[in-house]
Structure 1
């Protein structure tokens, strides 16, 4: 950085300021930037006498830091003093006014894009000099800290419960007086310091209330609860559990006296010492439970051999259970034998399948097929041996087919009469253990009607010819329908042997749609099948 005029060493630097100086925080943190300053403005000659706390050019100099960095650090440290002044009014108004002026100028200086060495030196020197000349106001920081600490103690209800009411009231009184003095701007340092000491003395002199000790009781409760029933008599162990319950009530009572606590300790000691060992008697409880479990098992789907083994084991177990002189070893052996027989039960696959078949329901579907056929279909029933197809007549149900394959799930009835209603049902069956079981079923009713034909149509010499394949000889005829808009009209009938119809009532350029329906005359009435597919034909304009 360039400098004008004759050069000389100004000796501007920051060392370790006096411990009492408010700017002592800069000690060891601001490394001095010692530069040559023009002789025309010998700043060192204008330094006030009080700035003797600063060191001259022989101070620690960190040549790696720029002058601008030193000024920035000085501004940051002065900013901390600024916050203290706002919070606690630590310094006299006159001395702080000088610091505020120098701080504002230094901040403005740092906002400039370019600075001369001379400008930096002046701002730096003015700021640290003003800070060094700060005069303390009456210091209330310590008092504020004491007040905050006392308030925190008084707000902790759990903590206060351990101190005497008198000592708590003493803290409250000292706190009230301290807050009054803290708010008094005219209070001198002696008054402030005394209030701080009084408050701290009140806190440190708080007296703890002497509480009854439950340590022995809690230890004895833990000892008693660790004891297991084992071979102790029911009566003596029950007495111990009652004593534990009473002791836990006292242990949980915050107002329990020492006498009550000691009494429970003694009661627990007595209950422990009075525990009596019971002479063991053979127990048949497990055997009785295993017998009950085994007898509840039905043969169901189990094999005859494995179930017979279980019934034999039950009989042997009941004999041992009825013996008043039996030893525990024999009881345990029979209990184990029963458990083994239960585990040895084996499922009979046919029986299991029979249960599934019996629970199933076969729902058949029926559909008309070509000629006089009705096709029945249903879903496969797992485990079934086959299916029975039944037809309901005036005399009841008649079996018309027994299917001996589980995989066959359809049947075609070929003796239907057109126009007649038929009711069918299908049930699955399974043979197991010499018996045949059947599933449930749902009936299906269907009317035998002719099948709908598949038609074709084309223009033929200005007319439209509709054709189809011949249905069975059982049909009476075919009815032809036509539409040009949305409404269908019947345009003709032909006999059952005819497989075409010519529509001569058509006009050029128009589109016609056709469909055909088969019918059978039965008992003087026509029985109609479903409509055929629809087909459109447009007459060309030549």
Structure 2
């Protein structure tokens, strides 16, 4: 205790000493009994009075505590990650990181600081480190297109959309050709602000594969990497339905305007045109006979086609409602 840096148990009061917290919670038992888990933030702090009451601890000894102490778990972690980084010296040589790091230490030492200031210091240090670690784009390399997606589909078209690449001339869109088994260029968009394209005159109930890349014109055209492959399926055609009742208590529904690429059809029935329609049959055929109907009663039917892709059904529009009075 002759050392000027000494700080030990009972050095201030009979309730002073070192305490540890895990993720801002004081376990209330010896550290030897706690098994650290990956991601834990453990802090050792010195309590002057009340077995941690002045640190914000709540226990059977400390009661509810008389100090409201900010949660510094995230800030501790940010500081620790700088300290333990393999390039720690390079990080701290950066003026933005050094400024945020020194401020973080100042905040850590202040036991009366507000939570908002702790959160601000945490964000400032995290942002400074993230900005430093961002990869520097290779000179002349065009940024890849992000957010490539299917905006909408019809029975004969696919609308594609993507996020803007700021430093480029435009975009090139490719579609997989089943005959050549290669991706072929289908559209060059020469305006970087144009962020959609509609591929028209497609077949219904058919799946198409696309990819996109940005390009930059110059003495030599530069290209970004290709996007991930995007699959899009056009909607099935809307069936044209007829319904007849040629046998007692039965109604036969038939439909045309279909495709061999359809996976099947759903038949719905109601007892009034605007009533609740219930699914009565799922079939791969193009006709269905509903039995057990009440003679003299009118029934309403509609049909829709679907295409199953990777376990998900893609539905076309419902047909026009058709009705029949049962014989």
TM above 0.5, yes or no, is no
Greater RCO (CA < 8 Å, at least 6 residues apart) = 2
Question: What TM-score, normalized to structure 1?
Answer: 0.24
Between structures 1 and 2, the one with greater strand share:
2
Between structures 1 and 2, the one with greater helix share:
1
